[in-house]
Amino acid sequence: MDEAHLRLRNLVKSYDGVSSAVAGISIDIARGELVTFLGPSGSGKTTTLLMIAGFETPTAGSIELAGRDLTRVKPYRRNIGIVFQNYALFPHMTVARNVAFPLRMRGRPRAEIEARVAKLLDLVGLRELAGRSPRQLSGGQQQRVALARALVFEPEVLLLDEPLGALDKTLREQMQVEIRRIHRALRVTTVYVTHDQTEAMTMSDRIVVFNRGVIEQAGPPLEIYRRPATRFVGEFVGDSNFFAGTVTDAPAGRVRLDRLDTTITVAGDPGRPGERVDVLVRPERLRLVESRDVPAPLVTLELEVESTVNYGDSLLVLGKAKGQPVRVRVPGAAPAAVHDGAKLLVAWGPEDVHVVRA
């Protein structure tokens, strides 16, 4: 990664002096990077964003931007743009005046303001709506105005706090694409906060997974999904099957799965012999087979179907194998053999498995 543009070091936030909403996190964000803070409610992601913005003061630790210590700098002196979920547009101002407001507050010349506003409205596709008031706009259009206003003064960092949470699914997906397009056009360093895994996977250069005030893992989206560092990350990001096991033969990658009463081979280093591990198999990595006669090192599992969820393009099969809950995602139309109460055989191989140290 390039040299850090935004640097958080040992950041702590405690509201009562006893427990910590943020418990000593450190992260470097490169210039032009789009990093998503992902986690459940109360995980510390929004509190961290508010400390970057200057709306919350850290209990300990430091915040640096381009080598400058911002830890105690007032919010209006940080040159940071921010977009909230509720848009916070001025209802008595037109779209153009809303976008121009940060430049007018900075005393920029009128010609510069007009040029910058026109450029940003073009970028977000709202040039023709410049004279309208916010109440005449859809939710997605209001969000674009808020985004243009946060970018018009050329901030060093853009912060987005659950900006799409109030939009419906289709519009939210459209705005994900738009925000990514705008980021690529401007390459402004961006921190995006969400609890939505799909948003994080779709938009991010890197994802930082928060849990109980600490960072569980940081990395590119596919690395987070395919190689979660902890069980929490594996369960929170995407759908998952976890099987408890014990390493029996480390050089050969052999792991004994306790409840399934079977030994499997895994790719890579599973850990030390005798070590307890969690074995992750994503539902889409399990495939239906007609016979137990599969070539090694594939292994099979008999699954009794309890229910199914039809997504149109795929079918989620929910069942149990020897009392262990198992989820299988079958692409395409539902096979006739898959129904409640059916007994199916599923198979997977070493490349389908990821070992998480227990």
Contact yes or no for 58/230 (Cβ under 8 A): no
Q: Between the CA of residue 77 and those of 5, 58, 71, 166, what are the distances in Å? A: 17, 17, 12, 29
**Burial bucket for residue 158 (CB in 10 Å: 0-12, 13-18, 19+):** buried
Task: Count Cα neighbours of 2 within 13 Å in the Cβ-side half-sphere.
Answer: 10
Q: What is the pLDDT of residues 166-210, one digit of tens each?
A: 788 888 888 899 999 999 999 999 999 999 999 999 999 999 999
Q: Are strands 287-289 and 324-331 parallel, antiparallel or unpaired?
A: unpaired
Q: What is the pLDDT of residues 222-241, one digit of tens each?
A: 999 999 999 999 999 999 99
All domains in the chain, ordered by first residue = 4-234 (3.40.50.300), 239-357 (2.40.50.140)
Q: In DSSP terms, which residues pair with 119 in a beta bridge?
A: none
Average confidence (pLDDT) over 256-269: 91
Q: What is the pLDDT of residues 109-122, one digit of tens each?
A: 999 999 999 999 99
- Can you give the pTM of this predicted structure? 0.93
Q: What is the pLDDT of residues 44-55, one digit of tens each?
A: 999 999 999 999
Total residue length of the chain: 358
| Mean pLDDT over the full length of the chain | 94
Q: What is the pLDDT of residues 287-326, one digit of tens each?
A: 999 989 888 889 999 999 999 999 989 999 999 999 999 9
Task: Please say if the pLDDT value at position 1 is more than 70.
Answer: no
- pLDDT band at 329, cuts 50/70/90? very high
Task: Please say if the pLDDT value at position 102 is more than 60.
Answer: yes
pLDDT score at 358:
66
- What φ, ψ does residue 127 adopt, rounded to 5°? -55, -40
